[in-house]
Structures are given as structure tokens and as C-alpha cells.
Structure 1
Amino acid sequence: MTAAISALERAAQAGFASRFDHGAMGLWSAPGRVNLIGEHTDYNDGFVLPLAIDRRTVVALATRNDRIIRVASSFASETVEVSLDELVPENLDGWSAYPLGVAWALGQFGADLSAVPGFEIYVDSNVPVGAGLSSSAALESAVAVALNDVWGLKLDRLTLARVGQLAENRVVGAPTGIMDQSASLLGRTDAVVFLDCRSLSAEVIPLGLNPAGLELLIIDTRVSHSHATGGYAARRASCEAGAHTMGVPALRDLSVDDLPRAQALLDDETFRRVRHIVTENQRVLDTVQTLRGSGCAAIGALLDASHRSMRDDFEISAPELDLAVVTARAAGAIGARMTGGGFGGAAIALTPTELVPAVQAAVLAAFATHGFATPDLFVVHAADGATHDADGEH
């Protein structure tokens, strides 16, 4: 556990005590994630290759003797209160819909919400919000493992990922797949999670950045995005329409060899959406094969191709993201791409360790020249997934 995380835990403990006038019974945390490759493939039953990162959301929690839930956080002044008897999606909104939505969703996966105690929870986090690093899944996953423990549910990690996804889909209203929660719950140090989003089978693949002398540099453009808004939903609708026209359950069932037939049957925009998903799925498989056979230093071209596909076919990039990618590559990164749902957020640049300062300087200068907001640049490392960090003094 790093010093930064320990400081975050102390802040969560102090915040809990300040807000609720007593100590927490325990601390749980879950990481944000970066998707190495495989964008928008998850809700198409495809393949993804995310990694949990060393930025985390910590929750301090204590159960109550009644049916009341109270949630508070370091990033909101209000404390939201609701009874377990009124815990339905229609009653939940704002940031508290994430933790409260998880509690509701656990009921959909077998928790008897008429028999569990209420609770108080305080949230603190150093996962950037709106950067495409899945601050929402970090929050959902931390709450899920905490309630799984204190309610004695004994649900496995893949089920908890489905709980988080249901909360985000049904309560928050964002039509996301299961990748983010899976990465946050299943991640391992210096490894990526190879997830089949149809079967939900997951395999941990060693990444090996340190032995290769490489770092994963995050370039947060500070252009905020929201999955609950139209761009994400429109892409999903295009994918579903394309699959329907092609006569398959999901775009996962198409291969690159099917693209000529798709082009003949689909309008240009839908075809390009389909082409991104089909080729991106193949790039995930190729990246896994390359990591196993040649190591992480050989995946740069696949990252570059992924970004071009998202920019040109799926049309989810932004001028800031394109500038970050082009500039990082010119300054020495061996591969770069936007990551996350798109329309803002962050890019990743796989960069030789000794060139990280030069890439950072080049990106900062390019953004200043173009009049863009100053981006936030930092290196992340692949980290372990959600954990019970400590018992409290409740």
C-alpha cells in the first residue's frame, strides 16, 4: 500500500468521523481503470483489455441499528439519507445514485434488503472524475465489496461487477458495459485483465512494463464527458442496428472477413461504427497474443491503429485527444490512443521511462500553443483490484 493511499484512507476515516460523529467499522477501496485497448467492444459482447490503476476510491462504512442509509463524500457538502424501504431507482439521483444504486442492485442479485441493516458511508477518492479513468466504477466497486462483507452476502467478484453495471445502467442511466467494474474488481499488479464480455471469463495477463523500461503516461485533457449523454447512447444504438441488419446477436459475432458484406448492407455511418467494433475486437486479441509472445514494447502500432479507428470510424475523439496522441508519438511515445468512452477524457501514451519528461513537456507546450486548457499528466501503474483495507474503530 502506497503512502498516497494511506493518506487517502486517513482522510476517509476523518471525513466519516466528522460527518457522522463516530468512527467507521472498516475501510474498503477500489481502483480506477485504464483501458489498454478495446473501446466500446464491451457492450457488443466483445473483448477488452483494461488494467486497474494506482488511483483509488476509499469508502469508510459503519452499519446502523435501523433501516436508514446515509451517504456523504469529500466532494459534496450534503449528506443524503434514504430508508432501505424506499431504495428504488426512481428515488435516487445525483452522485449518491452510485453508492445507493449498488445497494439496490445487490437486492436484485439475492440480498434480502428487508433483513439487512442500514449503514453510513463516507467516500474519498483520488481517481480523476470525467477523465475516462472510471471514477464511477471505482466508487461502485468499493461500495459493492464493502456491503458484500458487512451484509455477509458471499458474492464473487464477477457477480459484484454485474451489480455495479446494473446500478450504472438502471439507476444512473448510463448504458455502459461490464468492463470498468470488472477491471476495478479483478485487477492485479503489473497485469491487464483480458475479459470476454459475453462469457465473463477473465484472465490476468502479465504486462511487464517495468522490465521493458516503459511507463503508461495518462494525459487527462480535462475535457469532461458523461456516459449518460447522447453520444455514447447513439454509438450503442448504431452497433445494435448494425448487428440486427447483419443477422447476428452482437457485433462480437462478426469478423474482419464480414466487413465487405456489412459495407454492402449498411449505410456509411453505421458501417463505420461496425467496422470499428469488429477491428477493435481483433486488435484486442492481437494485443494479447503480442504481450504473450513479444512483450509490451511490441504493441505500439496496435494502440495507434485503435486511436485512428476511434477518431475516424467511431468518431468519439476530440481535438484535445488527437493533439495529445500526435504530440506524444512525435516526442517519443511508442504508441498512444484515447481511452475511455470518448468525447473528452484522457489519452494514454506508452512511453520509454527516460522520455516521459520530454513527452510531458511537449504535450504541455502543444496544448498551450493551441489555446487548450492545461492537461493533467501523470504516470499510472497496474494495481490490485478492490480490497478490504482496514478495520475501523467503530
Structure 2
Amino acid sequence: MRVLDAFSEAYDKSPEGIWYAPGRVNLIGEHTDYNDGLVLPFAVPWGVTLAASPREDDTIRLISLQAGTQTIDSLEDAHGWARYPTGVFWALRREGFPVRGADIVIDGDIPEGAGLSSSAALEVATAFALNDLYALAQSPLALARISQLAENDFAGMPCGIMDQATSALAKAGHALLLDCRSLASRHIPFDLPAHGLRLLIINTNVRHALADGQYARRRQECENAAKHLGVPALRDVTDLAGALTLLKGNERKRTQHVVTENHRVEALIGLLRANAVTEIGALLNASHLSLRDQFEVSCPELDVAVESALRGGARGARMTGGGFGGSAIALVPADRTDSVETTVKAAYADRAWHPPTILTATPAPGAHRLD
């Protein structure tokens, strides 16, 4: 195992343990998590492996086999990628847990820039490691909340809890239905091969520079709309038509997306319970149109990925993740996989775009200790 060899070479000792946390892809329920809504993600078979040992001082030594080395003597020293694992130390200490330093080596195989939440995987792997190293006795959900706190308040990304909760709680062969208000969750069987289907992740290999600032702006617009409607969050809007008459501009459009997207999550769950997996494609298509037109977080590369996948034979497709780049997903009959891949890549080539990377995703297990 690469992290074991790298740890022994760097620190001249063996790690006290090795932990793993996966990335995630969201089947449906986009930009609903920070509106206290419903989401239906699952863990992907790529993630972060982390070897660690505790220290008797407060120094954090980080080695990433992909991103380099940082030594953190003061939490403020962390920069770039190191703010995600360092933020977990910060969050645990802020919550009163007796966490000191650690020697850490990190190895990841999540496709870069694909929008599969490598940051959450890194945070959750760190949280699981520190939970064991310092005998904190915290549940996986509590560790997901610590990881979200690290990303929100230390790394400065105002995300909801979906990414961290999926990484911590996922189950192989299942999607995770998560209520982002109560944090109640349920594992929903999601066996695509049994229905002759595959879920393709189409990584556009682009990330537009405006992404992070626009994410924060969308969240603020949603909060403003909820305030104008007199509800705690957009999840609480029950009369959409009435609400839309009270709102204007972006707040109106954001509200329409969030409310209808929550309905789509519920509808998709109903289809899965009825074993009508082949019928969920229309909901994926509707989700993409809403994200494109009402929430305005798509981009040409994502739109072309979705449109060309449908032309190639996909039953449904949509952008997934925060938007402005990253990945789309496509629900594809197994015998149409080659056709979809060919059609998508040809559409990109016609526009002289860098070719997309296409992967097959299967629901994978959540975070756990390897050794």
C-alpha cells in the first residue's frame, strides 16, 4: 500500500492506522442540502486513503502523494489543500475534544476537478483517523458534521452537509436518502446492473473560475428568498405558486428550483421503491433543465454532455455537483454504453474542446478503517 510505504519512509516508523473515505456523486437533489432539503447521493469507488499516527505536541505534518508537503505548527499556517485536513483538527479542538498533532500521509485517486468531492473525502478520512487516534468515540454522523464545520468555517466553503455525510455513511449497492434538516438517513437499494443499466460519470475536465463565488451567491439568494417568504428555509415552502408571486428575479428562480428539486427527490424514491429504476431518467432530465434555467449553475460543457448523452441513447442525464464545470451523470442501458461515450466525445471534438473523461460509477461503501 502506497501510503504505508510513504509513511515509513517519511517518518521512520509505522503508522498507527490507515483509514479510507470515498468521494460521492449525487443522483438527484442538487443545491437542496443547504436549504434543509432532501438529497440522494451515493459514494463512488474512488477516495482518499490516509495513514496517521498521533504526536505529543500540536504540530501537524502532512504529506500528500499528489499535492506535496506542509508542516503546520500554527493552524493559520495551512494553505491550499492542507486547509481541509487541518480544518478538522481546528473543528475538533473548537468543540472541546483533546486532539493534539499528528503525522499524516495522504493518497487519493478521485479524478481531479470532477466535482466528486475530494475535499469531503479528505476531511472525513482525517476525522475518522483522529476519532480513533484520540479515542473520541464519535459516531460517523458526528464526524460528518465536524468535517462540514471544517469546510464551512475553516476552509471557507459554505457547503451543506451532503458531501461529508455521504462519505461517512454510505453503503455499497445503495444510495443515501438524507434529510439535511433532521439528518435522518436511509439506505435505498440501487442495483443498476440488475436492471441492465449503468450510471456514467462524464467529467468535462473544466472548472470555470467563477464557481466558488457563485456558489456562495446562490446560497445567499436562497436565504434571502426564505426570509422574504417568512420561512426558516426554502424546504418549508408548501405553496410554490403563491411563493413565486411574492418574489422577483433571481430569488424567484432559485426558489422554483429548490422546491421542485425536493419534489423530484421524493418522486425518484417512489420509483425506486416500486422497482421502476428504468423510469427515473425523466427526473434526471428535469433536474438538469431546472439547474440550467432556474438555478443557473450549468455551463456549455455540461449542457453538451447531457444533450449528447441523450442523443447517444441515455435514458436520462443531468449535471451533478455545484456546477460551472465538473461532471454530468447519465443513466445508460448497458448495451448503449459505447454509443453514449462515442456521441459525447464526438460532440466535444466538434467544438474543439478537450475530451471528457467517462467513468462508470457503482455505489461504494463509506469511510472505514483499513488497518
Q: TM-score range by the shorter chain?
A: over 0.9
Q: CA shift at 1:18, angstroms?
A: 3.1
Work out the CA distance in 1 between the residues paired with 2:340 and 2:5: 38
Partner of 1:317: 298
Is 1:267 matched with 2:245? Answer: no
Partner of 2:67: 76
Work out the CA distance in 2 between the residues paired with 1:39 and 1:279: 11
Alignment of 1:294-305 (within 5 A): 294-305=275-286
Q: Call closer, same or farther: CA 1:227–1:129 in 2, change over 3 Å.
A: farther
2:80 alignment partner, SS class: coil
Is residue 175–residue 228 contact of structure 1 (8 Å, CA) maintained in 2?
no
Deviations 1:49-90 (A, max 9, x none): 00001111100112223332101101223x22223xx33xx4
Partner of 1:142: 125
Deviations 1:171-210 (A, max 9, x none): 1100000000011011111100000000000100101212
Alignment of 1:146-225 (within 5 A): 146-224=129-207
Partner of 2:97: 111
Which residue identity is paired with 2:143?
L
Structure 1 unaligned spans of 5+: 1-9
Q: CA shift at 1:330, angstroms?
A: 1.1
Most deviating of 146-155 and 56-65? 56-65
Which residue identity is paired with 2:344?
V
Q: Call closer, same or farther: CA 1:38–1:49 in 2, change over 3 Å.
A: same
Q: CA shift at 1:11, angstroms?
A: 1.6
Partner of 2:357: 376
Aligned partner (choices 360, 367, 372) of residue 341 of structure 2 = 360
Q: Call closer, same or farther: CA 1:45–1:210 in 2, change over 3 Å.
A: same
Is residue 130–residue 225 contact of structure 1 (8 Å, CA) maintained in 2?
no
Is residue 367–residue 373 contact of structure 1 (8 Å, CA) maintained in 2?
yes
Work out the CA distance in 1 between the residues paired with 2:252 and 2:171: 36
Work out the CA distance in 2 between the residues paired with 1:229 and 1:320: 18
Deviations 1:132-186 (A, max 9, x none): 1011111111111111011100100111111110000011100000000011011
Which residue identity is paired with 1:365?
A
Q: Call closer, same or farther: CA 1:155–1:162 in 2, change over 3 Å.
A: same
Deviations 1:336-385 (A, max 9, x none): 00000001000000111121121111111110111111111110110000
Alignment of 1:217-256 (within 5 A): 217-224=200-207, 229-255=212-238
Alignment: residue pair count:
371
Partner of 2:56: 65
Q: CA shift at 1:295, angstroms?
A: 3.1
Work out the CA distance in 1 between the residues paired with 2:242 and 2:187: 35
Partner of 1:7: none
1:58 alignment partner, SS class: strand
Is residue 176–residue 227 contact of structure 1 (8 Å, CA) maintained in 2?
no
Is residue 175–residue 227 contact of structure 1 (8 Å, CA) maintained in 2?
no
Is residue 178–residue 197 contact of structure 1 (8 Å, CA) maintained in 2?
yes
1:304 alignment partner, SS class: helix
Is residue 211–residue 323 contact of structure 2 (8 Å, CA) maintained in 1?
no
- C-alpha root-mean-square deviation of aligned residues, in Å? 1.4
Partner of 1:6: none
Partner of 2:265: 284
Work out the CA distance in 2 between the residues paired with 1:368 and 1:342: 22
Alignment of 1:6-155 (within 5 A): 10-77=1-68, 79-83=69-73, 86-87=74-75, 90-113=76-99, 116=100, 118-155=101-138
Which residue identity is paired with 1:327?
S
Work out the CA distance in 2 between the residues paired with 1:68 and 1:80: 11
Work out the CA distance in 2 between the residues paired with 1:373 and 1:224: 12
2:97 alignment partner, SS class: coil
Alignment of 1:338-349 (within 5 A): 338-349=319-330
Work out the CA distance in 2 between the residues paired with 1:147 and 1:295: 42
